[in-house]
C-alpha cells in the first residue's frame, strides 16, 4: 500500500487504529476450542467485528510461528481474509546481514503479502536496505519501544551527544524516506515524541502500548500527530481479549469503535479531516 492510499484510508475510516492479532490458544473463548481451527475462527470473527473501525491489522508473528507449520497456515489464511484496503503489518522484528534480510523481505512481502515488516535497526544499513526493493512495501524500524527494557539501550547517550533512538532516526533517513520507512515509538514513550517529530516530521509512526500497556492515546496525538495524521496506533489485548464469552467478537468491535470515535475527534481537532 502506498503512503497516499494509507492516508486516504485513514481519512475515509476516520481512524488510525491498528488491531493487533496476537492470537493465543490459551486465551481464546472456550467455545471456540471445539471448532476445527480455533485461532483462524477467532481471527475471522475479530476481523469481521473490527474492520469498520480500523485501517490496519498487525499479526504478531511469534504467536503463529510458535505453532509450527500449522501456525504459518493460519497466518496465511488470516492475511487472505483481511480486506484488501487494510494495511497489514508483520510484527516480526527481524534483523540480519544483507543476504538474509533479502530472504526475510521475500518471505513477508512476496510469499505472504504483507505491506510492512518490523525490523530491529541495530545491524545497520546493509541489514535494512534489502527491504526497500519491493514496490509499495514498508520497513518499520524499532526506535523507542514500549517495554521497560527499551530504556536499557535506546535512551543511552552516544559520544555525539545523541540518544541511541535519535541516532537510529537520523541515520535511517539516509536509507529511505517517508514513503517506505515508519518507526515504532511506544505509547508509553509519549514524552519523547516531540524529539522524534523534530527528526522525522513526516514519517508514519507505529505506536503500540495503548490498552493493556496503559499508554495514553491523547498524549500520543498531542505530541506525535502531523498534518497527514502520521500515526498508526495499535491495540492488541485491549481489543481481542476484552471478553472471553460467546460475545467476544461483539465486545472487540465495541472496543475498536470506542478507539475509532476518540481518533475521529482527534483527526478533526488537528484538521487532518
Ligand atoms: O515497542 C513495542 C513494539 C511492539 N510491540 C508489540 O505490539 C503489540 C502490543 O500488544 P498489546 O496487547 O496492545 O499490549 C504486541 O504484539 C507487542 O509485541 C509492543 O508492544 N511494543
Q: Write the DSSP assignment of 206-250 as a string of letters.
A: EEE-BSTT-B-HHHHHHHH-BTTB-EEEEESHHHHTS--STTHHH
The model's pLDDT over 65-109, given as tens digits with 9 standing for 90+, comes to 999 999 999 999 999 999 999 999 999 999 999 999 999 999 999
Question: Within 10 A of 48 (CB to CB), how many other CB atoms are there?
Answer: 14
Query: What percent of the chain stands above pLDDT 70?
Result: 100
The model's pLDDT over 180-233, given as tens digits with 9 standing for 90+, comes to 999 999 999 999 999 999 999 999 999 999 999 999 999 999 999 999 999 999
Q: Active-site residues: which are they?
A: 93
Architecture (CATH level 2) of domain 3-269 = Alpha-Beta Barrel (3.20)
Cβ atoms 181, 204 nearer than 8 A: no
Q: Decide whether any atom of ligand 1 lies within 6 Å of the 20 Cβ.
A: yes
Q: Tell me how far apart the alpha carbons of residues 197 and 101 are, in angstroms, rounded to a whole number.
A: 28
pLDDT score at 181: 98
Q: Please report which helix (H) or strand (E) contains residue 264, including its range.
A: helix 248-269
What is the 187 CA–ligand 1 centroid distance (Å)?
10
ipTM: 0.99
Q: Decide whether any atom of ligand 1 lies within 6 Å of the 172 Cβ.
A: no
Q: The whole model's pTM is what? A: 0.98
pLDDT score at 46: 98
What is the 94 CA–ligand 1 centroid distance (Å)?
15
The model's pLDDT over 33-45, given as tens digits with 9 standing for 90+, comes to 999 999 999 999 9
Cβ atoms 172, 123 nearer than 8 A: no
pLDDT score at 27: 97
Average pLDDT estimate for 234-261: 98
Apex CA 80: angle with CA 77 and CA 82, to 5°?
115
pLDDT score at 68: 98
Question: Ligand 1 pocket check: which of 23, 66, 208, 240 to mutate, most ligand atoms within 8 Å of Cβ?
Answer: 208
Q: Tell me how far apart the alpha carbons of residues 49 and 79 are, in angstroms, rounded to a whole number.
A: 16
What is the 174 CA–ligand 1 centroid distance (Å)?
27
What is the 237 CA–ligand 1 centroid distance (Å)?
9
Average pLDDT estimate for 104-133: 97
Q: Which three cell numbers stand for residue 112?
A: 505472504
Question: Ligand 1 pocket check: which of 94, 234, 235 to mutate, most ligand atoms within 8 Å of Cβ?
Answer: 234
Helix, strand, coil % in the chain, rounded to nearest 5 = 50, 20, 35
Q: Tell me how far apart the alpha carbons of residues 190 and 68 are, in angstroms, rounded to a whole number.
A: 36
Amino acid at each position: 500500500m502506498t503512503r497516499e492510499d494509507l492516508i486516504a484510508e485513514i481519512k475515509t475510516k476516520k481512524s488510525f487504529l491498528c488491531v493487533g492479532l496476537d492470537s493465543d490458544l490459551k486465551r481464546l473463548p472456550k467455545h471456540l476450542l471445539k471448532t476445527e481451527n480455533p485461532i483462524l475462527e477467532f481471527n475471522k470473527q475479530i476481523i469481521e467485528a473490527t474492520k469498520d473501525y480500523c485501517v490496519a491489522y498487525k499479526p504478531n508473528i511469534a504467536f503463529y510461528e510458535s505453532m509450527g507449520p500449522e501456525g504459518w497456515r493460519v497466518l496465511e489464511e488470516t492475511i487472505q481474509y483481511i480486506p484488501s484496503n487494510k494495511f497489514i503489518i508483520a510484527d516480526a522484528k527481524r534483523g540480519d546481514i544483507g543476504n538474509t534480510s533479502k530472504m526475510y523481505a521475500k518471505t513477508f512481502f512476496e510469499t505472504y503479502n504483507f505491506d510492512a515488516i518490523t525490523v530491529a535497526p541495530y545491524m545497520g544499513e546493509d541489514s535494512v536496505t534489502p527491504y526497500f526493493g519491493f514496490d509499495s512495501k514498508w520497513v518499520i524500524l524499532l526506535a523507542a519501544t514500549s517495554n521497560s527494557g527499551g530504556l536499557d539501550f535506546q535512551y543511552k547517550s552516544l559520544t555525539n551527544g545523541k540518544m541511541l533512538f535519535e541516532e537510529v532516526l537520523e541515520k535511517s533517513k539516509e536509507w529511505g524516506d517517508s514513503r517506505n520507512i515508519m518507526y515504532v515509538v511506544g505509547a508509553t514513550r509519549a514524552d519523547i515524541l516531540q524529539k522524534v517529530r523534530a527528526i522525522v516530521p513526516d514519517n508514519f509512526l507505529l505506536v503500540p502500548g495503548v490498552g493493556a500497556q496503559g499508554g495514553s492515546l491523547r498524549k500520543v496525538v498531542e505530541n506525535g500527530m502531523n498534518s497527514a495524521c502520521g500515526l498508526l496506533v495499535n491495540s492488541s489485548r485491549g481489543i481481542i481479549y476484552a471478553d472471553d464469552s460467546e460475545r467476544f467478537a461483539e465486545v472487540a468491535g465495541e472496543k475498536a469503535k470506542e478507539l475509532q470515535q476518540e481518533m475521529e475527534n482527534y483527526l478533526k481537532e488537528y484538521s487532518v479531516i
